[in-house]
């Protein structure tokens, strides 16, 4: 039955949120993955702007989300005078790793955000979403290799040979700068 529901959801253009597919790590688009992650982990809070108001088909094996214990919020104050929650910074770090494959420690990420002014944007948005991920990837690429992060498909459709080696150049520069490459 769920296979038919999946097909119908895709035909209607709904976001397909399947917690089983999330756990197996297959078949979900990025926004669907984020929605399923929130369901499985029992997270609450505002959805990213791209998810708000979109039709969603949920196939969930989560009968009742577990209550998340309230934990005291920890804050980080940047050099620019911006106060950020530590969890928000951790989410931004995860988003950057997902985009680039480069893992930064929290102080390294905060330094990168301060240099490029992303800390203010992150505080304004209140969540690490796609736009923040792209800004972080762009700032990291500019810092390490002196070029902007390629736009979608640019690595595959590269007219210049220099764009083809972008990933390997970034990885080498990240290792040289002391960052962990995954």
Are 114 and 79 in contact by the 8 Å Cβ rule? The answer is: yes
Length of the chain, in residues: 182
Taking the model in full, what pTM does it have?
0.57
For 114-147, how does the pLDDT look when each residue is reduced to its tens digit (9 = 90+)?
Answer: 999 898 888 888 887 888 888 999 999 999 999 8
Q: Residue 159 and residue 64: Cα distance in Å, rounded? A: 51
For the chain, which residues make up each domain, given as ranges?
2-59, 75-181
Task: Give rounded-to-5 percent helix, strand, coil for the chain.
Answer: 50, 10, 40
Dmax (CA) for the chain in angstroms is 54
Are 36 and 17 in contact by the 8 Å Cβ rule? The answer is: yes
For 2-22, how does the pLDDT look when each residue is reduced to its tens digit (9 = 90+)?
Answer: 678 778 877 888 877 888 888
Encoding tokens for residue 173? Answer: 């520069």
- The single residue listed with the structure tokens 């002014």 is 117
Q: Residue 77 and residue 93: Cα distance in Å, rounded? A: 16
Say yes or no to pLDDT of 168 above 90: no
Encoding tokens for residue 15? Answer: 């976001």
For 18-72, how does the pLDDT look when each residue is reduced to its tens digit (9 = 90+)?
Answer: 888 887 877 777 778 888 888 888 787 787 787 788 888 887 766 555 556 666 7
The angle that helices 118-125 and 86-100 make with each other, rounded to 10 degrees, is 110
């Amino acid at each position: 039955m769920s296979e038919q529901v999946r097909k119908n959801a895709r035909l209607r253009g709904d976001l397909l949120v399947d917690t089983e597919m999330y756990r197996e790590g297959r078949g979900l688009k990025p926004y669907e993955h984020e929605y399923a992650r929130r369901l499985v982990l029992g997270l609450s809070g505002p959805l990213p702007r791209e998810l708000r108001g979109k039709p969603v088909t949920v196939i969930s094996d989560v009968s009742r989300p577990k209550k998340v214990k309230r934990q005291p919020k920890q804050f980080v104050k940047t050099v620019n005078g911006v106060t950020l929650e530590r969890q928000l910074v951790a989410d931004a770090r995860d988003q950057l790793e997902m985009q680039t494959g480069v893992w930064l420690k929290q102080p390294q990420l905060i330094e990168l955000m301060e240099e490029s002014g992303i800390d203010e944007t992150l505080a304004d948005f209140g969540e690490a979403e796609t736009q923040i991920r792209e800004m972080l990837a762009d700032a990291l690429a500019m810092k390490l290799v002196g070029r902007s992060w390629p736009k979608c498909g640019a690595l595959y459709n590269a007219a210049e040979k220099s764009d083809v080696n972008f990933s390997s150049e970034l990885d080498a520069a990240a290792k040289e700068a002391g960052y962990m490459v995954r």
